Amino acid sequence: MARRAKAEKSLNVKQVRDAEATQALILAAAQEEFAQHGLTAARTEAIAAKTGVAKSMIYYYFKDKEGLYQAVLERSHSNLLQTTLQLDLAHLSPEAALEKFLTALLNCVSHNPKLPMIMFHEAVQNQGQYYKRSSSLSIDRTLVEILERGTATGAFRQLDPFQSAINIMGTCLFYFIGMGNIKHYPQGKRLLSKAMLEQHSQEAIALILAGVRKV
């Protein structure tokens, strides 16, 4: 009996791992599809073809295309959300907190460059319908709170935290959203190479910090 129970437990663990691996495979392919086409034009048939997973299995795990899309949004933001929760920003000066937040943001996006395009399509196609349900709002609030604290304490110049947060996100993310156009200007440069991504991060952070400081 003990041997049988052990075998059944081992089988259950394997099935769980196989299911998790299959879902991860689907989410990775779905992220590519949604980044290229957005929710409206993305096709589950294309995702199934890329993964070798039956379309019915995709629906089994995620119910429908919208459910899969929502799962991609959450997965795309989970690393950044977890990172920002662990930064302990409240105990830092506003400038140090802002720099640390931006470093985490740019590091996350550099490792997941499809995310900004997904969010671009979300804004254009869906008018933020799914964005408002995602953890992205917590990330946005963190940035606004840093700017509010910096303005209130006099560490930053007088600025509108909401407007400044929008401009800061644009500075960080347009590099990835505009990749299709930007790549034609610096001939021979690999925009997603480690060196270029590090340079983008350094330039973006320096520009933003200079912009919020008192003159």
| Confidence tier at 15 by pLDDT (50, 70, 90) | very low
CB 44 within 8 A of CB 36: no
Q: How many structural domains is the chain composed of?
A: 1
CA separation (Å) from 88 to 78, 94, 95? 17, 12, 14
| Confidence tier at 165 by pLDDT (50, 70, 90) | very high
- Indicate which CATH number applies to the domain containing 84: 1.10.357.10
pLDDT score of 10 more than 50: no
Question: What range defines the domain where residue 72 resides?
Answer: 2-212
**pLDDT at res. 9:** 43
| Confidence tier at 7 by pLDDT (50, 70, 90) | very low
On average, the pLDDT of the chain sits at: 88
Reported as a single tens digit per residue, the pLDDT across 20-69 is 999 999 999 999 999 999 999 999 999 999 999 999 999 999 999 999 99
| Confidence tier at 155 by pLDDT (50, 70, 90) | very high
* Phi/psi of residue 134, nearest 5 degrees: -95, 175
Confidence (pTM): 0.83
DSSP 53: -
Distance CA 181, CA 33 (A): 20
Mean pLDDT of 11-23: 68
pLDDT score of 139 more than 60: yes
pLDDT score of 5 more than 60: no
For 50, how many CA atoms within 13 A lie in the half-sphere containing its CB?
Answer: 17
* CA-closest candidate to residue 146, choices 105, 109, 107, 95: 95
